[in-house]
Chains A and B, each alone.
Chain A
Amino acid sequence: MLGYIFKRVLYMIPTLFGMSLISFLIIQLPPGDYLTSMIATMSDSGQAVDPAEIERLKEIYGFDDPFYIQYLKWIWGILSRGDFGRSFEWNQPVADLIWARMGSTLVISLLSLLFVWVVALPIGIYSAVRRHTVGDHIFTFFGFIGLAVPNFILALILMYVAYKYLGQSVGGLNSPEFAEAPWSLAKVGDFLAHLWIPIIIIGASGTAALIRILRANLTDELHKPYVITARAKGLPEYKVILKYPVRIALNPFVSAIGWVLPHLVSGVTITAIVLNLPTAGPLLFRALVSQDMYLAGSFILLLSALTLVGMLLSDLLLALLDPRIRFN
């Protein structure tokens, strides 16, 4: 098992490398570099431009160097001293800006994943076992709707409904009175009261997708000979189903984290922009609009790394669940 974990972690490295390359490409994509725009902005606002400072920055980020040297300097900065570059808009190191935002992104993504699982598992089992019943058709119908409605539209609709019928504006993760307050029981309650809307929005399509996957897999498994064996032992039907085919149909369910997670992180990004949640999304968006590329690129890299870690965990979970993988 240890060897498996080691191999799996090692396997992540080239993927991470590819992700960092794409992120850096995005940083480099807009015409003109960050320094030129900074000098322009500073001159525009009448600030004095310190030539020594500019020289220093040029040296650090190597703006005169070819692409690969710049990349190497950037990635070395991240790896050696956690330096993601500077945010030109905020005039702060990127590292100071992102960690809190990444934390809330992680919390919401994980809670959404939990929501997806808790909802999808029983419905998926029900739909597979009671195929083509009224209940199954209702769930299938809602599943399709959930898949079809893009996150941001769902967010807008829920916001509209809440505003129109509940008279409250949903947005953010805390009411204004708690925004600056230290964490307390009341604040946690308020936080949870705000949380359900984004979680439903973000989880909707993932839930629908997982229900469909589980239903399809379980339907296949239900007719396997080992199920008949279990039945022929004299096991009660619910035990036959829960202990055997469901257990095996869980495999694709767990490995689905691999693609549900990027999907959820995507969902968090755009939903957060619409609902103005204090996660990576709005800040990333702002950074992109104002072409604050080091900040934007760092977010993209970290969000990608987040999904990669999620995939690693799902693989390890899978190995734990299925001896066939563990022993291979």
Chain B
Amino acid sequence: MYRIGEKPYPTKIMRDKLYELILRGERLDGRGPYQYRPLELKTAIIEKADGSAMVNLGGTKIIAGVKTALGQPYPDTPDQANIVVNAELLPLASSFFEPGPPDEKAIELARVVDRCIRESKMLELEKLVYIPGRSVLVIYIDVYVLDYDGNYFDPAVLASVAALATAKTPLYEVKNGEVVLNPDIRPSLPIRKVPVSVTIGLLGDKILVDPTSLEESAIDTSIVIGWSDEDEMAAIQKNLQGLIQLSVMDEIIRVSREKSIELRTKLMEAIGRVGAPL
């Protein structure tokens, strides 16, 4: 018989091992508890997209592409451009992923990326309205997980934000009440903030940042926190089953804030912006 909350034996052995290591400040791949895996970020890799980025975070590889089109605004936001985020956990990325329409995990990923971008007010969506209530820019962000070794949230946000920040989109103008394309210029999107997310795994009251897929299989639960800048969070998603002890919450926020600053610095280097965006 299994005791309450106990995992299958291979997982339980792994959990106990991870916990034993983390008590000494160590992890299986040699990282410290608060250390990210090596991050690589390349932009403008898909010529046919308006913007694109590829992110490698350790063994997790994610590509994001941005396309834009003219469209109608949502009825509740007639004076804002639309953002549409879609994410796919491709079957080539892992034996855990299966072909087919986005499942609940892919939908959750897309909605968390959407929340980080939308709630941080990253884009000045008001500036991309041509005729209020009738014609606005629709920004499609498509995220594909190509290789999966844990934590798809953070690289998906990094890739999406990098793709948006480096995108060159068609310029539309209003002439005689008609929205027409100006073929001569492709401006950048108006950027206000550079959001990043930080994923934290929990083993009891111990924190481990950026869990690998092996760690994800054994941790008690995890939480993703999106930061719009150094001081403000824009999105949170507790993810996976399991309890977060209230007493660890302060530490989670403190560590995620610290890590978000580190990630944003790397992201800004990759997208060629130094200092605060504005």
Asked if A and B bind, the verdict is no
